[in-house]
Amino acid sequence: MRGEAIVGSTNSTLDADIVIVGAGMSGLYALKVLSERGFRVVVLERAAGVGGTWYWNRYPGARCDIPSLEYSFGFDPELEQEWDWTEHFAGQPEIERYLNHIADRYDLRRDIRLETGVAAATFDEATDTWVIDTETGEQLRARYCVMATGGLSAPHRPDWPGLDTFAGEVVQTSLWPEDGVELEGRRIGIVGNGSSGVQAIPELAQVAGHLTVFQRTAAFTWPSQNKPLTDEEQAEVKARYRELRAQQYASPLATANTSGAVIFTVADPDRHILSSTPEEREAALDEHGFSASRIWGDAAKDLDANEMAVELFREMVRRTVHDPEVADSLCPKDYPIGCKRPVLDNGYFETFNRPNVSLVDLGKDPVVEVVPDGVRTMKGVVELDVLIFATGFDAVSGALTRIELRGRDGRLLRDDWADGPRAFMGFGVAGYPNMFMIIGPGSVGVLATYPPHIELQVGWIADFLGHLAANGHTHVEVEPAAQDEWCAEVEAAAQGSMFTAPTCNSWYNGGNIDGKARVFPIYLGGLDRFMARARSIAASGYEGFTIR
């Protein structure tokens, strides 16, 4: 029964036992679980709807890059059976509908306050409670704060000079208006070639009068092979969903390689590009196309091998894009495959063969300023009606450092994380008692499929909160030594990977934002090992945490 008294925790002077910040996938599921366990929960959400990422990122082409049948929750077999996915990779509208269905099906909306962003959260040491100030001027007091704020939710937009003088419309893919943007026949400029830009560009090209792509770094992107899911494929997965979910929960990346999933060419550990012949590489190109760059076992660890794989990728770009100068600009040159999250596309490179699409290579022709008519580069003004920023996120830490988040002794999280985020297994931060994070820094992060990953994390946090309540505790805090030890383990696990290669700048390591500390706060040891560790912490009576 939800919302009823729970031993040792419920206190009528509090507005809630637990405030959850965010009503995306993790906030919705945490609300369901924690309220079922008897906690009084309030969810605060800045958006006008639920869904988090899948609410905000409604730009043309927005789509998940994980197969739908796996990018979904497994906590309720009935939900699994009743929900039908239409495509291998679901589009944003379908996932948003799914999350709204979950909010309705489990009657979650009554505890969610929409359009209520959190401005500040302050730990009150005298009462072991959090005081939360909303952007709407309300104040709430709760025993615990659960941050379901997401790793890719704090939008980043470069501050180009003159931006406020632009006479046209400026939009961001990650803040796309609910009532859409007028695009038909217009002169559109787009900045950014990560997953968001690469997905949006082919769609925008189909409706724009002219599309100009402003590119700072060329993308590694592979054809998604997306297609409709057949009834048979769906039925086959649904018939053995329990077994597949068990595989997801126990695997390093929360995957089960379902038949409904599009199987990608994966690296063969025994196939080495360094010892391959030109004929073997040519044959790989003929057989695998762009994916010829992904089949080599040595490319993940050895930069010379990686560069040879990159050259195969470049060859495919040159074979696809007709204009040799444009093709050359679209060839990644300065960073290895595997440094950034692989991007999946639907006709990205082919889009640059269209007569209504042009590329501005910012390496050769940098932006000088934005003017009322468009964007002035070194070579002249590109006239635009709409300027779209697909420029990514202040990732992993940004959603929390943008809040005035004060822990013990008035310390500010933004200051504590000035040299990069530090946390104990992503669950909590030393100095910030009674605060939990779902998939925070130091967890496996975005590398593991989110819905099953969220289920595991929320389950662990809910058990911990239940343990605290059942034993009458009101204070829990990460021990600094446990945090230091875990951060060292995260760092060690990342050694030698492409994520931390010297030439790698990405949102994973903070290198996408000028001035941000370069730290790679994601555990590469795999979700299976991570959860084994989390379970052993629980079994030990929560070693690494001070409880009273």
Footprint of ligand N01 (CB under 6 A) = 63-65, 152, 158, 191-197, 199, 216-217, 341, 362, 390-393, 446, 507, 512
The CA-atom distances, in angstroms, between 337 and each of 220, 267, 308, 309, 407 are: 7, 12, 10, 8, 39
Phi, psi (5° rounding) for residue 414? -55, -40
Give the shortest CB-360-to-ligand N01 separation in angstroms: 10
Task: Give the SS3 label for residue 458.
Answer: helix
Give the shortest CB-512-to-ligand N01 separation in angstroms: 4
Q: Which one, 197 or 433, has the nearer CB to ligand N01?
A: 197
CA-based nearest residue to 501, from 361, 335, 360? 335
Query: Is residue 494 within 8 Å of 522, Cβ to Cβ?
Result: yes
Q: Which one, 83 or 393, has the nearer CB to ligand N01?
A: 393
Give the shortest CB-393-to-ligand N01 separation in angstroms: 6
Instruction: Quote the Cα angle for 219-450-55, to 5°.
Output: 75
Q: How far apart are CA 427 and CA 542, in angstroms?
A: 12
Task: Give the SS3 label for residue 347.
Answer: coil
Task: Give the SS3 label for residue 389.
Answer: strand
In the block, tokens 């905000």 appear at 56
In the block, tokens 């239940």 appear at 466
Q: Which one, 16 or 64, has the nearer CB to ligand N01?
A: 64
Q: Which one, 3 or 158, has the nearer CB to ligand N01?
A: 158
Give the shortest CB-239-to-ligand N01 separation in angstroms: 27
Q: Which one, 362 or 381, has the nearer CB to ligand N01?
A: 362
Alpha carbons within 13 angstroms on the beta-carbon side of residue 107 total 5
**Which strand (E) or helix (H) includes residue 343?**
strand 343-345
Query: Is residue 386 within 8 Å of 171, Cβ to Cβ?
Result: yes
Q: Which one, 348 or 464, has the nearer CB to ligand N01?
A: 348
Give the shortest CB-138-to-ligand N01 separation in angstroms: 31
Q: Which one, 91 or 260, has the nearer CB to ligand N01?
A: 91
Q: Which one, 68 or 193, has the nearer CB to ligand N01?
A: 193
Q: How far apart are CA 105 and CA 94, in angstroms?
A: 16
Q: Which one, 200 or 256, has the nearer CB to ligand N01?
A: 200
Q: How far apart are CA 192 and CA 457, in angstroms?
A: 32
Strand 187-191 versus strand 210-215 pairing type: parallel
**CB neighbours of residue 92 within 10 Å:** 22
Give the shortest CB-151-to-ligand N01 separation in angstroms: 8
CA-based nearest residue to 513, from 144, 245, 200, 194? 194
Give the shortest CB-388-to-ligand N01 separation in angstroms: 11
Q: Which one, 300 or 446, has the nearer CB to ligand N01?
A: 446
Give the shortest CB-387-to-ligand N01 separation in angstroms: 12
Q: Which one, 24 or 544, has the nearer CB to ligand N01?
A: 24
Task: Give the SS3 label for residue 358.
Answer: strand
Give the shortest CB-458-to-ligand N01 separation in angstroms: 20
Give the shortest CB-157-to-ligand N01 separation in angstroms: 8
- Closest residue to ligand N01, judged by C-beta, is 194
Give the shortest CB-172-to-ligand N01 separation in angstroms: 9
Query: Is residue 426 within 8 Å of 445, Cβ to Cβ?
Result: yes
| CB neighbour list of residue 139: distance below 8 Å, 6 or more residues apart | 131, 132, 133
The two tokens of residue 275 are 């010892």
Q: How far apart are CA 513 and CA 521, in angstroms?
A: 15
